[in-house]
């Protein structure tokens, strides 16, 4: 057995692990030879001590090496994927993947579930009756061949070290460590076989990392890890100081994604789908100019080709496509309004409270193993800065169980205030970050 105790002591004392040490520890852990208590102690040491750049590269490589690394080169088409650090109402992946696939780039998207105040793509898709996200490698291949995209969950074989460590970090309160987050996200995205990555790192009160500076540090770290593994990557920092779109919750976000796929829906959602999708086409090498790439994604949303891909993907993964014709039935019938207590302007004070309100309604999970209610949701009836009259509805809670309403209402009310002056909004797209030598100015977008 590896001398796990010596590795632990080295990290505890602030040393940098070698690639050999990371590999030995993770191999021993996944094989069940190194106990959970040792892994928890190592995670705590990494949390407190951080990791040097080379050490983190080696750690991430060891994470990837703990399982399979998929390769889709035999399918003879470029591959790309996107990751978002998530937030309130971030359903971008759902319209984006089929739009990118409709433009000739394969999207082998391995996503996660919601945890705490943020939602997850898999939970949203599973709001479509029958939709199956437990895909094997062969299932992913079939979906890519037939439809150009797959929406799957991490399999037993894909980065098993991350699967175990993530659950352990969850119960020990060790999620929020920059090297652990970066290696966890990137190991899965690299192992799934995407050759280009677009990262959407959110900032603002609804984001995992609210401060833009920390988000930029995470983005740069992830870009470096991707490039070290031969995967092209760029990152955008985008706003999560207000909700994205007009809906948060699983079924209700599918309904909003369908509107986007029909060329409609909220403008901020469309703007990010077009921008990030366009960037995926550029990074995958099928377009050279971002403006042309964005126009192609916009066309795929407007001409029905993205929607057609989505329908095929839903059908291919066992989902009931008839449910897509009746989006209103995807979320609870009963809507309870939250009203403005005085006249003024809508200002989001703490968007995280919306995620927690959704959790209270049953639409999120506290622990990795919890189940979610697909029909619980929150609709945003007004945008940030809107002029409000006293008693005007601001939010509508889609409620399936009235017993959950009181704590949800308290959270929802704590999310916003009515201010005398309209708040100054942050730009939807704050910055574009790329590997050194590939930087460009942020693109001009409709909302600045």
Tell me which residues touch ligand URA (CB under 6 A).
Answer: 112, 166, 175, 180-181, 184-185
Q: How far apart are CA 120 and CA 130, in angstroms?
A: 17
- Is the separation of the CB atoms in 313 and 151 below 8 Å? yes
444/448 Cα distance (integer angstroms): 6
Closest CB to ligand URA among 79 and 118?
118
Continuous segment of H or E residues that includes residue 339? strand 334-339
* Residues acting as catalytic residues: 83, 162, 169, 184, 188
CB atoms within 10 A of CB 391: 11
Helices then strands, counting H and E runs in the chain, come out as 16, 13
Counting every residue, how long is the chain? Answer: 448
Tell the smallest beta-carbon distance from residue 275 to ligand URA (Å): 22
Q: How far is the CB of 112 from ligand URA (least distance, A)?
A: 5
Q: Which is nearer to ligand URA, 121 or 147 (CB)?
A: 121
Kindly state the smallest distance separating residue 118's Cβ from ligand URA, in Å.
Answer: 9
Alpha carbons 71 and 329: distance in angstroms, whole number:
39
> Cα–Cα distance between 25 and 19 in angstroms, integer?
10
In the complex with ligand URA, the residue whose CB is nearer, 181 or 226, is: 181
* Nearer of residues 168 and 290 to ligand URA, judged by Cβ: 168
SS3 212: helix
Nearer to ligand URA, 180 or 235 (CB): 180
What are the CA-CA distances from residue 441 to residues 273, 410, 438 (Å)?
Answer: 19, 42, 10
Task: Tell the smallest beta-carbon distance from residue 56 to ligand URA (Å).
Answer: 13
Q: How far is the CB of 236 from ligand URA (least distance, A)?
A: 17
Collect all residues with Cβ–Cβ distance below 8 Å to 12 and sequence separation of at least 6: 41, 45, 49
> How many C-beta atoms lie closer than 10 Å to residue 437's C-beta?
5
CB of 172 vs ligand URA, minimal distance in Å: 13
- Round to whole Å and give the CA distance between 286 and 273: 17
Orientation angle between helical segments 250-261 and 267-284, nearest 10 degrees:
70
Give Cβ neighbours of residue 359 (< 8 Å, ≥ 6 apart). Answer: 116, 117, 365, 366
Q: Burial-class residue 302 by CB neighbours within 10 Å (0-12, 13-18, 19+).
A: middle
CB of 171 to ligand URA, least distance (A): 14
Q: Is the dihedral of CA 289, 99, 149, 154 positive or negative?
A: positive
Token digits of residue 260: 């986007």
**Is the Cβ of residue 185 or residue 395 nearer to ligand URA in the bound state?**
185
Q: How far apart are the first and last CA of the chain?
A: 56
Of 114 and 363, CB closest to ligand URA: 114
Residue 214 and residue 201 in contact, taking contact as beta carbons nearer than 8 Å = no
CB of 208 to ligand URA, least distance (A): 7
232 - beta bridge partners?
A: 196
Nearer to ligand URA, 156 or 328 (CB): 156
Cα radius of gyration (the chain): 21
């Amino acid at each position: 057995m590896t001398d796990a105790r010596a590795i632990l002591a080295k990290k505890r004392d602030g040393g940098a692990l070698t690639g050999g040490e990371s590999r030995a520890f993770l191999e021993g852990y996944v094989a069940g030879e190194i106990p959970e208590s040792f892994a928890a102690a190592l995670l705590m040491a990494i949390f407190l001590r951080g990791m040097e750049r080379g050490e983190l590269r080696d750690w991430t490589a060891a994470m990837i090496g703990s399982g399979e690394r998929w390769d889709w080169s035999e399918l003879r088409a470029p591959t790309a994927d996107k990751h978002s650090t998530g937030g309130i109402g971030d359903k971008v992946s759902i319209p984006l993947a089929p739009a990118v696939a409709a433009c000739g780039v394969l999207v082998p998207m391995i996503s996660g579930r919601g945890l705490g105040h943020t939602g997850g793509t898999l939970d949203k898709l599973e709001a479509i009756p029958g939709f199956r996200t437990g895909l094997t490698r062969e299932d992913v291949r079939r979906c890519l061949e037939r439809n150009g995209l797959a929406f799957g969950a991490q399999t037993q074989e894909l980065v098993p070290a991350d699967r175990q460590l993530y659950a352990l970090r969850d119960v020990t309160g060790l999620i929020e460590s920059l090297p652990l987050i970066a290696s966890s996200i990137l190991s899965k995205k690299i192992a799934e076989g995407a050759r280009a990555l677009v990262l959407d790192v959110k900032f603002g009160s609804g984001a995992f990392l609210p401060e833009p500076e920390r988000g930029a540090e995470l983005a740069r770290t992830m870009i470096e890890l991707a490039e070290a593994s031969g995967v092209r990557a760029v990152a955008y920092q985008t706003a999560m100081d207000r909700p994205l779109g007009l809906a948060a919750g699983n079924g209700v976000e599918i309904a909003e994604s369908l509107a986007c796929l029909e060329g409609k829906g909220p403008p901020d959602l469309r703007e990010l789908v077009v921008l990030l999708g366009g960037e995926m086409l550029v990074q995958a090498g099928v377009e050279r100019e971002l403006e042309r790439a964005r126009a192609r994604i916009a066309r795929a949303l407007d001409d029905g080709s993205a929607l057609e891909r989505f329908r095929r993907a839903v059908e291919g993964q066992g989902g009931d496509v008839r449910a897509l014709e009746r989006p209103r039935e995807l979320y609870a019938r009963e809507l309870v309004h939250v009203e403005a207590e005085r006249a003024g302007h809508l200002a989001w004070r703490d968007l995280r409270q919306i995620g927690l309100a959704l959790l209270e309604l049953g639409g999120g999970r506290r622990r990795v193993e919890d189940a979610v209610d697909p029909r619980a949701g929150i609709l945003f009836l007004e945008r940030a800065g809107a002029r409000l009259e006293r008693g005007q509805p601001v939010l509508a809670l889609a409620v399936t169980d009235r017993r959950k309403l009181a704590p949800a209402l308290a959270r929802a009310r704590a999310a916003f205030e009515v201010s005398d002056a309209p708040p100054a909004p942050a730009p939807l797209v704050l910055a574009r970050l790329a590997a050194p030598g590939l930087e460009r100015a942020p693109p001009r977008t409709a909302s600045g």
